[in-house]
Structure 1
Amino acid sequence: MISMQILGGFQEYGKNCFLIEHLETSTRIMLDCGVQNGQPEVYPPLTPEIAQSVDAVFLSHVHNDHVGALPLLADNGYEGEIWLSEASYAQIGPIQQRWRQKSAAPYQAAAVDTLNFTPFSPATKGQKIHITNDLSFEWGHSGHMLGSVWYIVHLGDASLFYSGDMVLDSVTFQTEAPAQSSFQLAIIDSGHGGQVTSRQKSEQALLKALENPDRCYQIPVSLSGKACDLILTVYKRFPDRQLFLEPALREHLSDCLSYAANLHTGMKEQLTNLLADGRIACITSNQASVSGIYFTNRRLEDMKIIPIDSPAHPEFFYKAHPDLKDVEKLLGGIQAEQLVFFHSRPKDFTKLIAHIPKELILNGGVYQ
């Protein structure tokens, strides 16, 4: 039997952290260990008792709301392995540096250097990786960003599915369906589960808003699969326009080439061509307002901002999590005795539960 303690991520958009125990073997794992972004950041309620009882941690990807509390976990005494994909591990260095520099963090900076990251090879996809006699796991790509994965975790005689953050129709990254379909517990991303959001319609609205070649446009993005999708889409739609990227964002696109197994077929060639194109430039600190399209999180002056994450502008909203139809599709291939939906705000969670077809709730599934 599996028990679950939700330390964050349920009916909130962030701070994802789930503690799972197999009662018969006393095996305990943690799925992600994030913070709620903001000033200040909000951490999950990690204690020495929790940290020192965990046998393994599994990271779905390296966004702050899934990994930001790892130093606090270590500070409370966790010394075990932190499993993650090789592509995720390749992005950890700059993140660790930021953790060390957080003056107001609720942990000692030295805890950062005790974290024991254990990357698994792309060659192990779909294979069962054994940690102990009572604990093993499998993984597949989840489409959310470079390195993002879902997990099937086997605990004693039970198994669970954890989607991590998931995108079913990413332009850039692959998403695979799990081969196993029946679980004791399924923890599923429902970040946009209160709505139906068409990626194609969002793209059309975005591209229409960018039509004036003499204007300066800013598209706010961070290092994410969504940023990669938008850059590729805009690049292909406007072959004569100048595109400006943050240096870190350009480096991120380059990193994708080193992990081509994450990418859709043919995407490595498309990214290679994009990065070699002279009309793709890096944004500098004294960037002049040259006509073009700027992908950055910094506020640049005298530019029209295209607010892709703003509820006030739903025509531009570009989803990075499953919407209602995506959740229904996921449930069509997953049977679970217990279902937990995470990453959705309370109003979206309420809408999701009201609209999920009851025939998709199999084996007496229970919503938490």
Structure 2
Amino acid sequence: MQLYIAGGCGEHGRNCFYIQGDTKNVMIDCGVIVEEGGNIGYPELSDEQIENCELVLITHSHGDHVDALPWLFERGYKGDVVASKFTFEQIPFDVNNAVNLEDICPDGKGEYKGIDITWGRSGHCVGGVWYKLEFDEKVMFFSGDYCFDTQVYACDEIIGKKADIAVIDCAYGKKKIDYQESCFNLIKRMRELFKKHKIIFMPVPKHGRSIELMELVTKNGLTAYFYGDEHIMHEIESIKNYGAWLKFIPNTDKFLPHTNEGEQGIVFISDSQLNKPMQQAIAKDLIDKGAYGLMTGTVDKGSFSENLINQGKMEYFCYPIHLSNIQYNSLKNKNVFACTVAYHTEDFKPPNTIKF
């Protein structure tokens, strides 16, 4: 049996892992990478691999994990796609042959097409999961984008697992990222910025970080309203439906559409890189009104977010929603993995094919 890395290692994006077994072939995630210059990079899969793949399992809805699915079907894929109910709801296009994870694996365990599947909540966003798969007498583990330290999102800790191979989030690579220290530094910087700017804008994914940051700000006593664009407001209005994906239901009474910004506050814009025209226009309008930006996620080369940072109109302060190499190694020590692969980082580049 072997793991073929079609993307996601030695780079930040295009996450796609292909398991070639004795009796079946399975894929985990199928995302894209936006390269410098705006070109889209797709998983490095052959026509034969796509034709022979029987099942795709998705960890969560972010584009670097799912946006190559239409391309995959165009290339001839005919199998099923498994993901959580909320992941399918968040994906901005219809997914062919969709199978809800909760239907085939209620209570976190089940069997589908001869594969034993165990899953848990990854803490990264609503609907985000990790997987343990077993078939052809081998056990494989995929952490998805994993974060045990969270404000609001529930996470099933990865501990005491056994696998022949494990692909583990290591997005922060060799950077020394501590969750509590990062939260302290971010709040400290927000307090400083609010002395100079009435509005702070924060580019974030459509699903995930806005709810976490809202709770972090509220918990630390900052006087601020929260504003969101259309996509963010839809996320906030859906909170009451998220149930077991959250530790608790946060108070959203001070969350308003971004067109209503008046009081001191934070505007969440639903595009981390600000490359989409509508979200870019919101950022430009806010800057013209005296707002300042804070970026809390990875900055893509050539993105509009990078341009704003270079112009001194926005700056980067990490809010951790992934693992660093230190945390990656700590997670390894809490489990029994015969072989581990660090993904989601440019700092480590394993071989494209790993036999196990």
- Alignment TM-score, normalising by the size of structure 2: 0.81
Distance 1:316 1:197 in 2: 11
Name the counterpart of 1:61.
Answer: 60
The answer to which structure, 1 or 2, has the higher relative contact order (CA under 8 A, 6+ apart) is 2
Name the counterpart of 1:291.
Answer: 264
Gaps of 5+ in 2: 272-278, 300-308
Matches within 5 A, 1:296-307: 296=269, 297=271, 298=279, 299=283, 300-301=286-287, 302-307=290-295
Residues 201, 293 of structure 2: 8 Å contact kept: yes
Residues 81, 97 of structure 2: 8 Å contact kept: yes
Residues 35, 66 of structure 1: 8 Å contact kept: yes
Distance 2:153 2:89 in 1: 17
Is residue 326 of structure 1 aligned with residue 327 of structure 2? Answer: yes
Name the counterpart of 1:173.
Answer: 153
Residues 170, 322 of structure 2: 8 Å contact kept: yes
1:334-355 CA-to-partner distances (Å, cap 9, x unmatched) read: 2222211110113xx38x9xxx
Amino acid at match of 2:99: T
Is residue 152 of structure 1 aligned with residue 132 of structure 2? Answer: yes
Change (3 A) 1:315 1:244: closer
Amino acid at match of 1:131: Y
Name the counterpart of 2:238.
Answer: 255
Matches within 5 A, 1:38-187: 38=35, 39-92=38-91, 95-96=92-93, 115-121=96-102, 124=105, 127-133=108-114, 135-178=115-158, 181-187=161-167
Distance 1:181 1:200 in 2: 26
Name the counterpart of 1:361.
Answer: none
Distance 2:236 2:317 in 1: 23
RMSD: 2.7
Change (3 A) 1:148 1:226: same
**Residue 236 of structure 1: how far off its partner (Å):** 3.4
For residue 219 of structure 2, give the secondary structure of its aligned residue in structure 1.
Answer: helix
Name the counterpart of 2:30.
Answer: 33
**Residue 239 of structure 1: how far off its partner (Å):** 6.0
Residues 146, 256 of structure 1: 8 Å contact kept: no
**Residue 136 of structure 1: how far off its partner (Å):** 2.2
Residues 160, 186 of structure 1: 8 Å contact kept: yes
**Residue 195 of structure 1: how far off its partner (Å):** 1.9
**Residue 257 of structure 1: how far off its partner (Å):** 2.5
Gaps of 5+ in 1: 97-111, 353-365
1:241-289 CA-to-partner distances (Å, cap 9, x unmatched) read: 222122211211332321211111xx22xx2x32xx2x321113xx667
Change (3 A) 1:179 1:329: closer
Residues 130, 137 of structure 1: 8 Å contact kept: yes
Distance 1:243 1:65 in 2: 27
**Residue 217 of structure 1: how far off its partner (Å):** 1.5
Q: Which moved more, 1:236-245 or 1:253-262?
A: 236-245
Amino acid at match of 2:243: A
Amino acid at match of 1:8: G
- Alignment TM-score, normalising by the size of structure 1: 0.79
For residue 40 of structure 2, give the secondary structure of its aligned residue in structure 1.
Answer: coil
Residues 224, 263 of structure 2: 8 Å contact kept: no
Residues 216, 293 of structure 1: 8 Å contact kept: yes
How many residues get paired?
Answer: 320
Residues 188, 340 of structure 1: 8 Å contact kept: yes
Residues 170, 225 of structure 1: 8 Å contact kept: no
Change (3 A) 1:282 1:219: same
Amino acid at match of 1:247: E
How many percent identity over aligned positions?
Answer: 26
Is residue 280 of structure 1 aligned with residue 262 of structure 2? Answer: no
Residues 108, 120 of structure 2: 8 Å contact kept: no
Amino acid at match of 2:113: T
Change (3 A) 1:176 1:125: farther
Distance 2:105 2:330 in 1: 26
Residues 117, 134 of structure 2: 8 Å contact kept: yes
For residue 90 of structure 1, give the secondary structure of its aligned residue in structure 2.
Answer: helix
Distance 1:310 1:86 in 2: 27
